[in-house]
Chain A
Amino acid sequence: MFQNDRLNNEITLFKKIKNLDYILVISVILLSIVSVFVMYSTDGGEILFHTKNHLVKLSVFFPLMIFVAFFNIKFWHNFSYVFYFLVILLLIWVSFFGIKSSGSQRWMDVYLFVLQPSELMKVAIILCLAKYYHRLKIENVNSLTSIVLVLSIILIPIIFVISQPDLGTSILIASSGLIILWLGGVKIKYFIYSFIAFLISLPFIISFLKPYQKLRILTFLDPDRDPLGAGYQIIQSKIAIGSGGFEGKGFLKGTQSYLDFLPEKHTDFIFTLFSEEFGFIGSIGLLLLYSIIIFRIIRIGSISRSNFARLFCFGYAFAIFIYIVVNLSMVLGLLPIVGSPLPIMSYGGSSMLATMIGFGIVLSAKINHKQIIS
């Protein structure tokens, strides 16, 4: 056992490269290429600000992913809590000194780009809880102290994020955290009870929402109530997607985006532009690419010897899935509008950074899948 440990610790760089999960890496590369083309289209068929920045970020964060992968998964296990607390510190810093923009305070300037710590928390929370459940005895999973502790781990960052305010990211962080609870073995009835409790307290929660958030929910229920105001985004998004049809309007020919009818086309509504230009076929292709990525992550998790790696991979796969579902449901008019980027595709450094770190850890788990963490 000890020998095994040592052996794994001393995997050569060559072997590490050989052991990378190439299906996942190639999928990520493909996704990156697609994202660059779509960004190029949002710039109106020119290499402008968004395309350039997106390319720069990709060329920094993709190597970062490989770099992260080359650390032993054991390192990430050991680093988990530190990472979580570091991000918490960043969140606290942001809540005092962060950059304000359009009414919320979520960003900090880190010279290369503007960092949004809440995005990092999406990965940190999975890392932290995976380690916790890895170390927790199965008998103690449903003990009161453990449940209170994990709920606190989830709630502390959410309190900061919600006060920024940023409902979308909070929901994503919460769901990423809760999924580890689920995987960790928290009794199903607890989930059912808390779900019922949530439904009962829903009107109460709604009364706490900011006016613009209430408006978004109302608009979601009936986008036509204010077609030029609150409902504008969702109506235009549906028009863009619907008019794309089976094969799309063609690359650089999406009139809805080209003529500025689409709001936020670089970020949250990037899929709308993609779907308008590449149609149903393109959208299915993109979903397929995402599915491959999710499937590969789950597969890596299931071959991992350590429960930490397994929990992280399963949890991260679910998180990616949730990001996609929330984003697509939003642009397709299935959910109210909450700010949530589409992984890799959307413009935004923090989201890409977090996603790439996540992929890096997954790749590290693949390289070191035989690693046992005691």
Chain B
Amino acid sequence: MIKSSSGIRKTDVINRRMFIIGAAKIVVFSGIVARLFSLQINENKKYLTLSDKNRIREWKLPPTRGDIVDYFGNVIAGNLKVYQLHIIPEQVENFNYLLLRLKNLLELSDKKIQRINKLKAELKPWDSIIVSENLSWSQFVKINNYLYDLIGVKPVMTISRNYPFKDAYTHVLGYVSQPNEKEILENEVVQERFVPGMKIGKLGLEKRLENHLIGTNAIQRYEVNAYGKRINQLEHQKGEQGLKIRLTVDTEIQKACGGLLKGKAGSISVMDIYTGDIIAMYSSPSYDPNLFLFGISQDEWQLIRNNPLKPLVNKTLSGLYSPGSTIKPIVALSALENNVINTKFKVKCTGKMELYGQTFHCWKEKGHGWVSLKNAMKQSCDTYFYEVSRLLGVDRLNNTAEKFGLGKKVLGEYFDIEKKGLFPNTKWKKNNLGKGWVLGETLITGIGQGYIQSTPLQLCMMTAQIANGGYAIKPKIIVDNNPLSFEDAKQSMEKGLLYDTETKSFKDKKLFKDKKNIKIVQEAMFSSTNERFGTSYRSRIDDPRYQFAGKTGTAQVKRISKRERELDLELEQIPYKDRDHALYVAYGPYINPRYALSIIVEHGGSGSRTAAPIAKKLFKLIIDRHDLRNKQSNFERITI
């Protein structure tokens, strides 16, 4: 009985204690439910995001660059389908065997094989290694033929930059290539969109307009597992091609310029004198930018780098030359504007001029006799311009020259390599050389020698502004969003105003005091080309449709010694480096002018013999394409 009562007491104890535990259990379970609630309901969003971050990985693909087209819509920098060869290491059964096969098929170098092996060690086994960026068609076919034996190899079609006109636009467009680390960090847009294998503009407009041309990445979203392996593709977000950019240039003329300067070092610029459109801008020699796309070979690079004609220098924008006699129209204009001379003013040329015991020679040893402005310009009499500049003084000359764009960048915002040249004055010499101006320096400045330095494009713009009646223009190479038609530009200019597309207002663009003076200079330039004894008379075109006016120039590269002057050597007898630069500036047609050009042939001898004949060949083409260009006015506008 005791046992049984003890049993009952025990049961009571057990039940009581069980009750306490039961209560504790409910509390603990509630705690767990609360935790579940907080994780799954309250913080669900946070953890859902974290889970997606875990499983979704994005792969950016290289963006497609925008096309660059010429004025007529011809693609001058486009995109081309290229065939590449990728290896996916994890799919390869025998890597060394595969490399051996590829080495034989594609004739890969040992260095390349080493690089592939290095990449293989660095990358994840499911990341593809690019063996060849640009397979030729025959290589591509070969690979496809042997594909059954090349497990793990993937022929891929992708897009690459392409310059169909090869060397024609190299100095305008530049080229694209793989960026280095510094270049990626420099540009935020590039930094954001960079993916291995992507190419960016290295030079020229390709570099300047990078952020417009670049385009946006296509994005592929993949689900990945904990080890980073792609499981399946969730989404493919298409990228947008970069902006299409239309230039003012005319490929036919640009190509013609290249042809005319073939084998020579020099530059040709052609400009619309009303709109400031650059029709052509060619620096010779050029090189094929396509060579740089997939990494240029050492041999090819050395060939370009060591070429004595310096293909890497953009002579149009960063070549600095003494303008020589091509400056004379400005000297004449300045003297007329400052009432230093008039059309009747005459100077007697005896072949030389003495000043403070120093002799200044005219190019014609026998002298020109009594010459007026028109004759002096026509025959490019140096003595006349020595005298005129002596009377004018360098500071007044500088004033006019700068108004017409000398000593300033023409397209500065687009090309960082552009040089601004130099048009000296007394203040400049004092500040920079610490010496006072000497009158003799004024005389040689008056014939475009001495300190004066100009780029071919500056000379072209200077000529254009004389040709359009003396109005300032703003040269441009990109068609902007509200361009003025040639007719509108001409009309507004004749009213003395020019529509400025940047400020969207009309501005006074008159560069002269008296319109008559411009006319006098224009006529003098006309006679230089179209009248007997004119320096470029031999290069004239009589047909009024093509008739042009111009001014030759011959810029000395070194001082001519007395002995050399007496020898009067033929061009071929002088060492190349010592030969004069040949220059020519012109505009046409003479009636209703439309275009101006400047031609420079380095070490080409005299302007009349080397440079002016080029203009003759070019003008016909330029003016023949005039109507075609006018028809393009309704062409699709591209916003920048």
Which residues does A use to contact B, with CB under 8 Å? Answer: 133, 137-139, 179, 182-185, 236, 238-246, 255-256, 259-261, 275, 279-280, 283-284, 287, 291, 294, 298, 301-302, 307, 310-311, 314, 318, 321, 325, 328-329, 332, 334
Residue of B10, B22, B40, B50 touching A246 (CB-CB under 8 A): B40
Question: Chain B: which residue is nearest A242 at the CB level?
Answer: B47
Question: Chain B: which residue is nearest A314 at the CB level?
Answer: B18
Main DSSP-derived SS at the A contact region: helix
* A185 in contact with B10 (CB, 8 Å): yes
Residues of chain A within 8 A (CB-CB) of B50 are 239, 242-243
B47 to chain A, nearest CB (A): 3
29 pairs from A and B in contact (CB 8 Å cutoff): A138-B9, A138-B10, A183-B13, A184-B13, A185-B14, A239-B47, A239-B51, A240-B51, A243-B44, A243-B47, A255-B54, A255-B55, A259-B54, A260-B225, A261-B225, A275-B36, A284-B33, A284-B36, A287-B33, A291-B29, A301-B18, A310-B11, A314-B14, A318-B21, A321-B25, A325-B29, A332-B32, A332-B36, A332-B39
Residues of chain B within 8 A (CB-CB) of A179 are 21
* A185 in contact with B36 (CB, 8 Å): no
Which residues does B use to contact A, with CB under 8 Å? Answer: 6-7, 9-11, 13-15, 17-18, 21-22, 25, 28-29, 31-33, 35-37, 39-41, 43-44, 46-48, 50-51, 54-55, 223-227, 231
A78 to chain B, nearest CB (A): 18
Question: Chain B: which residue is nearest A280 at the CB level?
Answer: B40
* B6 in contact with A138 (CB, 8 Å): yes
* B17 in contact with A182 (CB, 8 Å): yes
* B40 in contact with A245 (CB, 8 Å): yes
Residue of A185, A236, A245 touching B48 (CB-CB under 8 A): A245
Known contacts A259-B54, A302-B15, A307-B11; is-contact A238 B36 (Cβ 8 Å): no
Residues of chain B within 8 A (CB-CB) of A325 are 28-29, 32
Most buried by B among A243, A280, A311: A243
Expressed in whole angstroms, the Cα–Cα distance for A280 and B35 within the complex equals: 10
Known contacts A238-B47, A239-B50, A310-B11; is-contact A298 B32 (Cβ 8 Å): no
Known contacts A255-B223, A256-B51, A287-B33; is-contact A242 B14 (Cβ 8 Å): no
Most buried by A among B36, B40, B50: B40
Question: Chain A: which residue is nearest B6 at the CB level?
Answer: A138
Known contacts A245-B48, A328-B32; is-contact A238 B39 (Cβ 8 Å): yes
A3 to chain B, nearest CB (A): 17
A267 to chain B, nearest CB (A): 17
Question: Chain A: which residue is nearest B55 at the CB level?
Answer: A255
Residue of B9, B13, B46 touching A242 (CB-CB under 8 A): B46
* B17 in contact with A185 (CB, 8 Å): yes
Question: Chain B: which residue is nearest A245 at the CB level?
Answer: B44
Residue of A259, A298, A329 touching B226 (CB-CB under 8 A): A259
Known contacts A245-B48, A280-B41, A283-B36; is-contact A137 B54 (Cβ 8 Å): no
Expressed in whole angstroms, the Cα–Cα distance for A265 and B22 within the complex equals: 31
Residues of chain B within 8 A (CB-CB) of A328 are 32
* A259 in contact with B11 (CB, 8 Å): no
* A246 in contact with B14 (CB, 8 Å): no
* A183 in contact with B14 (CB, 8 Å): yes
* B40 in contact with A184 (CB, 8 Å): no
The 6 closest A-B pairs by CB, nearest first: A242-B47, A243-B51, A260-B226, A259-B225, A280-B40, A245-B44
* A310 in contact with B51 (CB, 8 Å): no
Residues of chain A within 8 A (CB-CB) of B18 are 183, 298, 301-302, 314
B532 to chain A, nearest CB (A): 90
Expressed in whole angstroms, the Cα–Cα distance for A179 and B51 within the complex equals: 40
Known contacts A183-B14, A243-B51, A325-B28; is-contact A259 B224 (Cβ 8 Å): yes
Residues of chain A within 8 A (CB-CB) of B15 are 302
* B47 in contact with A307 (CB, 8 Å): no
Q: Known contacts A246-B41, A260-B225, A298-B22; can you find 4 more A-B pairs with CB under 8 A?
A: A139-B6, A259-B225, A261-B55, A280-B36
Residues of chain B within 8 A (CB-CB) of A280 are 36-37, 40-41
* A242 in contact with B48 (CB, 8 Å): yes
Question: Chain B: which residue is nearest A182 at the CB level?
Answer: B17
Known contacts A280-B36, A321-B25; is-contact A242 B54 (Cβ 8 Å): no
Residues of chain A within 8 A (CB-CB) of B36 are 241, 275, 280, 283-284, 332
Residues of chain B within 8 A (CB-CB) of A133 are 10
A310 to chain B, nearest CB (A): 6
Expressed in whole angstroms, the Cα–Cα distance for A342 and B567 within the complex equals: 110
A266 to chain B, nearest CB (A): 15
Residues of chain B within 8 A (CB-CB) of A182 are 17, 21
Residue of A185, A236, A283, A302 touching B40 (CB-CB under 8 A): A283
Residues of chain B within 8 A (CB-CB) of A241 are 36, 39-40, 47
Question: Chain A: which residue is nearest B47 at the CB level?
Answer: A242
